[in-house]
């Protein structure tokens, strides 16, 4: 069972047995969404468990449990999307959309034709930023699992994942035997990268890199949810 249908406020907490809201989430519930004491919402630990809660009447933003803790099995297989860092790329957009769609791991990487490389201190700041984007998107889309947002890595590390494959217009139809998909830079894949991994095709069109990532997420989650079938 997923948290309380398709609407109502949803937040993440550290511990479902000792409910405490982050200040920013308390603010979001009471100021942006205008919840009042007694109003219900759902809380999740980001690892598959959730429960119904309500705002307490105390001044400190206490939260009271209402329902039991429920657990949602993780959908199988877990899906990983690696996206190449690119100049002018919009990693926030990619992370937001992939989180909404329920991708399990989202990992930036440097491809041979990536023009952009993040230096270590920038990589740390950017990863923290992308994790905040993912948390907000997961709240809004009522996920019970937070995706893993990986530190930037390289092609070879992602290519070593079981079933890893590249997205490429010359590839085969997507299928869940390849639950890890690498989306390349707009400059395309290098010969070495092409040689190393097979490819799946997402569209008959030439997609921007960010669109290719979102399309991969849409097609693989639909296959996983049984909304479409392998061709």
Among 57, 124, 157, 205, binds a copy of itself (CB under 8 A): 205
Rounded least distance, CB 168 to a copy of itself, Å: 9
Q: Does the protein bind a copy of itself through residue 227 (CB under 8 A)?
A: yes
Q: Determine how β-strand 10-12 pairs with β-strand 153-154.
A: unpaired
Q: Quick one: 85 or 202, whose CB is closer to a copy of itself?
A: 202
- Which of 36, 117, 125, 201 binds a copy of itself (CB under 8 A)? It is 201
Which 123-152 residues touch a copy of itself, going by CB under 8 A? 140-143
Rounded Cα distance, 35 and 19, in Å: 17
The residues, any chain, with a CB within 8 Å of residue 204's CB and separated by 6 or more, are 169
Q: Which residue, among 57, 59, 72, 58, has the nearest Cα to 10 in the 3D structure?
A: 72
List, as one string, the DSSP characters of 153-186.
EEHHHHHTSTTEEEEEEEEEPP-TT--EEEE--T
| Nearest CB to a copy of itself, comparing residues 124 and 203 | 203
Are 33 and 3 in contact by the 8 Å Cβ rule? The answer is no
Give the whole-angstrom CA distance, residue 120 versus residue 126.
Answer: 10
Segment 61 to 90, residues that bind a copy of itself, using CB under 8 A: 75
- Residue 1 near a copy of itself by CB under 8 A: no
Alpha-carbon distance values, 19 to 22, 34, 35, 41, 84 (Å)? 10, 19, 17, 12, 38
Question: What is the total count of residues that contact a copy of itself (CB under 8 A)?
Answer: 41
Residue 212, H or E segment: helix 209-224
Interface of this chain with a copy of itself, residues 3 to 42, rule: CB under 8 A: 6-7
Which span sits near a copy of itself by CB under 8 A: 23-31, 58-66, 158-166, 214-222? Answer: 214-222
Identified binder of a copy of itself from the candidate list 52, 69, 123, 207, rule CB under 8 A: 207
Which residue in this structure is represented by tokens 């270590």?
120
* Residue list 149-178, contact with a copy of itself (CB under 8 A): 169-170, 173-174
Residues in contact with a copy of itself by CB under 8 A are 2, 6-7, 75, 93, 97, 100-102, 140-143, 169-170, 173-174, 188, 201-208, 211, 214-215, 218-219, 221-223, 225-231
């Amino acid at each position: 069972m997923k948290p309380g249908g398709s609407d109502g406020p949803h937040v993440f907490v550290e511990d479902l047995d000792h409910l405490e809201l982050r200040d920013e989430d308390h603010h979001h519930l009471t100021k942006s969404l205008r919840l009042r004491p007694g109003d219900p919402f759902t809380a999740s630990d980001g690892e598959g468990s959730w429960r119904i809660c309500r705002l307490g009447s105390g001044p400190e933003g206490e939260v009271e449990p209402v329902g039991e803790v429920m657990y949602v099995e993780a959908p199988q297989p877990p899906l990983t999307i690696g996206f190449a860092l690119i100049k002018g790329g919009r990693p926030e957009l990619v992370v937001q959309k992939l989180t909404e769609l329920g991708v399990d791991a989202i990992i930036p990487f440097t491809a041979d034709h990536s023009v952009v490389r993040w230096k270590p201190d920038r990589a740390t700041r950017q990863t923290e930023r992308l994790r905040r984007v993912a948390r907000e998107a997961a709240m809004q889309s009522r996920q019970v699992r937070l995706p893993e947002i990986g530190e930037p890595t390289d092609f070879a590390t992602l290519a070593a994942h079981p079933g890893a494959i590249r997205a490429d217009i010359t590839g085969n139809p997507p299928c869940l035997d390849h639950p890890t998909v690498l989306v390349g830079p707009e400059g395309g894949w290098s010969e070495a990268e092409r040689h190393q991994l097979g490819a799946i095709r997402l569209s008959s069109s030439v997609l921007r890199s960010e669109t290719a990532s979102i399309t991969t997420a849409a097609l693989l989650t639909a296959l996983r949810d049984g909304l479409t079938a392998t061709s």
